[in-house]
Amino acid sequence: MESASNKLQGPKEEFCIFKCFTMGEEELKVFGAWGSPFSRRVEIALELKGVPSSTWKRMSCVRVWKALPGSGEEREKAMEEVRECLKELESVLDGKRFIVGETIGLVDISTNFIAFWLRCIQEVSGLDFMNAEQFPLLIKWCEEFVSCNVVKEHMPPRDKLITFMKN
């Protein structure tokens, strides 16, 4: 099968891209923005499950978004809601490399926003949602997750994402 990939030009470079996966005689197209944690989850899961892919040719996120434009009490309340969610995740990591054990699972993939994007958001915004002092197990999990070769292959370049977020 010939690989297929499209991109739509938008004000911020590549707006929409897709990657094709083949499952037997069927083709699955994953659509998403290059910096989207949501489409990257799907790519990681399919690759970990051994579904072959073509090559590229070209927590609740809502709580985080509420904290960004806010100020004073409103911002602090939203940040505390984020930290409460992170505390729950930290509590399930005790003694485990990944959320459900020693290998990456669906729950790890579904929380990739925390491992990669939230840390970029912190850098751009200057807000401190999580750090090694507050969440040592969670930070260790983030490092383990983003260090996995399959995950690294499907993450956008960090510097490009930071630049995108700043604009």
- 53 belongs to a structural domain: no
- 15 belongs to a structural domain: yes
Judgement on whether residues 119 and 38 belong to the same structural domain of the protein: no
Judgement on whether residues 95 and 139 belong to the same structural domain of the protein: yes
Where residue 98 sits, what CATH number does that domain have?
1.20.1050.10
Judgement on whether residues 161 and 84 belong to the same structural domain of the protein: yes
Among 40, 59, 53, 55, which residue's Cα sits nearest to residue 155?
40
- 8 Å CB contact between 23 and 53: no
User: What is the pLDDT at residue 81?
Assistant: 85
DSSP codes joined into one string, 29-74: EEEE-TT-HHHHHHHHHHHHTT--BPPP----HHHHHHHTT--HHH
Judgement on whether residues 68 and 125 belong to the same structural domain of the protein: yes
Judgement on whether residues 12 and 73 belong to the same structural domain of the protein: no
Check residue 1 and report its DSSP letter: -
- 126 belongs to a structural domain: yes
Q: Per-residue confidence at 3, pLDDT binned at 50, 70, 90?
A: very low
Judgement on whether residues 76 and 123 belong to the same structural domain of the protein: yes
Judgement on whether residues 13 and 93 belong to the same structural domain of the protein: no
Strand partners, 30: 19
21: domain range?
7-48
Maximum mean pLDDT: which of 13-17, 55-59, 70-74, 138-142: 138-142
Judgement on whether residues 102 and 156 belong to the same structural domain of the protein: yes
Q: Please compute Rg for the chain using Cα positions.
A: 17
pLDDT-wise least confident of 5-9, 34-38, 83-87:
5-9
Judgement on whether residues 34 and 72 belong to the same structural domain of the protein: no
- 55 belongs to a structural domain: no
Number of domains in the chain: 2
Judgement on whether residues 23 and 99 belong to the same structural domain of the protein: no
Judgement on whether residues 153 and 88 belong to the same structural domain of the protein: yes
Judgement on whether residues 30 and 97 belong to the same structural domain of the protein: no
- 56 belongs to a structural domain: no
- Percent residues over pLDDT 90 in the chain: 32
User: What is the pLDDT at residue 31?
Assistant: 59
Over the chain, what is the mean pLDDT? 77
CA 50 to chain centre: 20
- 54 belongs to a structural domain: no
pLDDT score of 121 more than 80: yes
